[in-house]
Amino acid sequence: MSHPSVPREKLMRKCRQKAVEDKEATDMEDLFSEKETHKIRVSLLDWYDENQRDLPWRKRYSEDEKEKRAYEVWVSEIMLQQTRVQTVMEYYKRWMHKWPTIYDLAQASLEEVNEMWAGLGYYRRARFLLEGAKMVVEGKDGFPNQASSLMKVKGIGEYTAGAIASIAFNEVVPVVDGNVIRVLARLKAISANPKDRLTIKNFWKLAAQLVDPSRPGDFNQSLMELGATLCSVSKPSCSSCPVSSQCRAYSLFQENETNPVTDYPTKVVKAKPRSDFCCVCVLEILNQERNQSGGRFVLLKRPEEGLLAGLWEFPSVILDEEADSETRRDAIDVYLKETFHVEPKKTCTVVSRKELGEFVHIFTHIRRKIYVELLVLQLTEGDTDDDLFKDEAKENLTWKCVDSDVLSTMGLTSAVRKVYSMVEAHKQGLSVVAKVSSNRTAVSRKRRIS
Ligand code: SF4
């Protein structure tokens, strides 16, 4: 039996929603006046010409080097989505030294790219960068030079497309990132939720209105630069700001000092990351002829999809809840039994087994407590590393055994490097710092490949 009123109601609701969206999208009161637009463009560009930071990806290029410039903007923008400018500079220089053009990058392996990216986090972006480079090089039309066509390349979203198109190819398109949202929200005193879809749409509209048609790339960079320097999150320097006379938030503050400009944009409470627990077992294998300091470490490759896809790690087991050391050891034992021929007295001898400590690592949406133990085994005479894995595991897992020299130069995630540094500290007789707090920015850089 049909219910004619239901689809009609649905349709009406849709129409009303669309009318609201259209109104919000075309409400001219929300836009800058022509005079404001002109003043903001001139003031920001003058300020940018005088004050822009000297960054390695801001070189000037001739007309026929636009593609090179586009590649550099692309790499730098993807890296800048990961971390701060200071950190990116070092990564960027090493990257460009190894792969100076998109054609060089397209020849690289994922392993090499992950190595280069190690410590930056969000490894999926590095993979997309590689896949995108291959797409462009294998395509027949060269480097896409418009935002709309750039967005068809793997890993290039609206923001990156706008940055490449405006900076490298002079297309008059806007960019909206966190810095731009902060500046626009303050210029217009916008208190709506900056994560809301319609508010974001509005920011794009405002940025599109402001972008200077004669110097779109420089203008976009000036807006981002203002957000990254003077119009900072917590300590904006309004008295030195080139657009303070057009800034609504600043004028509200001058009228009433209890309304700080930092009220804009509205702070959105982040969802709490879920917690889990991970037992890492660093498996060191000694052969008969090797002494205890010269073992090889077992590394497993993560699946090609999902968190930290395709990256190497030590054997580990994820637990849903906090567990005591006995339960953790049991979980590791079951895992080792299912995956490896770890059968003391039969296939190997347990030389030592020691808990080295624990630390917390924060992924975007996961707070992971990591327990680390070192299990040193000696293989039975005549056995090789290959004999360690069960036949089913050999088919389903990608693994390798590497010595400490190789391990030290591999591109490992910051959490895996932290685990290995605990092993090294233990071997050097240093006390391992238990309960070390960690996050993506607190990464030890000393083991990065140069
Ligand atoms: S006046 Fe202050 S709040 Fe307004 S844009 Fe400039 S630095 Fe930001």
Which residue segments constitute the domains of the chain, with CATH numbers given? 20-263 (1.10.340.30), 274-437 (3.90.79.10)
Q: Which atom of ligand 1 is nearest to the CA of 237?
A: 7
Among 143, 140, 144, 145, residue whose Cα is nearest residue 166: 145
Region 69-90: what's the mean pLDDT?
Answer: 93
Bond prior to 265 in cis (omega within 30° of 0): yes
CA–CA distance, 125 with 186 (Å, rounded to integer):
30
Q: Nearest 5 degrees, angle CA 61-CA 62-CA 63? A: 120
pLDDT digits (tens, 9 = 90+) for 33-46: 999 999 999 999 99
Region 1-26: what's the mean pLDDT?
Answer: 52
Residue closest via CA to ligand 1's atom 8 equals 231
CA–CA distance, 431 with 128 (Å, rounded to integer):
40
CA–CA distance, 48 with 305 (Å, rounded to integer):
42
Q: Ligand 1, residues 240, 251, 254, 261: which to mutate, most atoms within 8 A of Cβ?
A: 261
pLDDT at residue 159 in the model: 97
> Are the C-beta atoms of 204 and 174 separated by less than 8 Å?
yes
Write the CB contacts of 326 (distance below 8 Å, at least 6 apart in sequence).
none
Residues 290-299 as b or e (16 or more Cβ within 10 Å = b): eeeeebbbbb
Distance 263 CA to ligand 1 centre (A): 12
Q: Give the Å distances, CA to CA, from 431 to 51, 218, 351, 355.
A: 48, 52, 20, 12
pLDDT digits (tens, 9 = 90+) for 261-307: 999 999 988 888 889 999 999 999 887 665 555 789 999 988 877 77
Distance 440 CA to ligand 1 centre (A): 30
> Of residues 67 and 363, which shows the higher confidence score?
67
Query: Any idea which of 51-60, 115-124, 265-274, 282-291 has the lowest mean pLDDT?
Result: 282-291
- Structure-token match 């219910």, residue found: 3
Give catalytic residues, as residue numbers.
77
pLDDT band for position 13 (50/70/90)? low
Q: Kindly write down the DSSP assignment for every residue of 288-315, as one continuous string.
A: TT--GGG-EEEEEEPPSSSTTTT-EE--
Residue closest via CA to ligand 1's atom 2 equals 238
pTM: 0.76
CA–CA distance, 227 with 170 (Å, rounded to integer):
22
What 3-state class would DSSP assign to 374?
strand
Region 169-177: what's the mean pLDDT?
Answer: 97
Distance 255 CA to ligand 1 centre (A): 15
